[in-house]
Amino acid sequence: MSASRTTAGTASERISDEVGGWTGVEAGWGRRGEFAFRVGRHEIGHLHGDHAAHFFFPKDVWAELVQAGRIEPHPVFPDRQGPAARRIAGEDDVQDVVALMRINYDRFRDAATGGDQR
């Protein structure tokens, strides 16, 4: 993220500018008022305003991210591994939400291209 992106706009605007600029990402409003980011048919994450981001990770990745304190269980599915949430309270959170979405972006992009990054 460039210095100008980290200081201008709301948290959701900064995240949307960054993630929406990745090749193949489509962004738009969902049925529940969330702003979602998709690669093909896969959602890489979504935002609830400027205060929360939600994701779904494979169980092993989810466990590592929880252990590292980067995510917490999703509030609607608190007993399930996979659905995840991240509060957005400051610039460090904005940057980590982008990084968390990048994990899913890379995973789905790699699956779609068979690992070919050209």
Task: CATH number for 3-113: choose from 3.30.450, 3.10.180, 3.90.1150, 3.40.50.
Answer: 3.90.1150
Q: Summarize pLDDT for 78-98 with one digit per residue, the tens.
A: 899 999 999 999 999 999 999
Length of the chain: 118
* pLDDT of the residue at 5: 44
Return d(Cα 30, Cα 27) in angstroms, integer.
Answer: 9
Residue-range domain boundaries for the chain: 3-113
* pLDDT of the residue at 82: 97
- Whether the CB-CB separation of 53 and 45 falls below 8 Å is answered with yes
Global pTM value: 0.86
* Rounded-to-10 torsion of CA 40, 15, 83, 60: 80
Q: How far is CA 28 from CA 37, 66, 111, in A?
A: 7, 27, 22
Asked which of 13-17, 22-26, 99-103, 111-115 is least confident by mean pLDDT, the reply is 111-115
Between 45 and 7, the higher pLDDT residue: 45
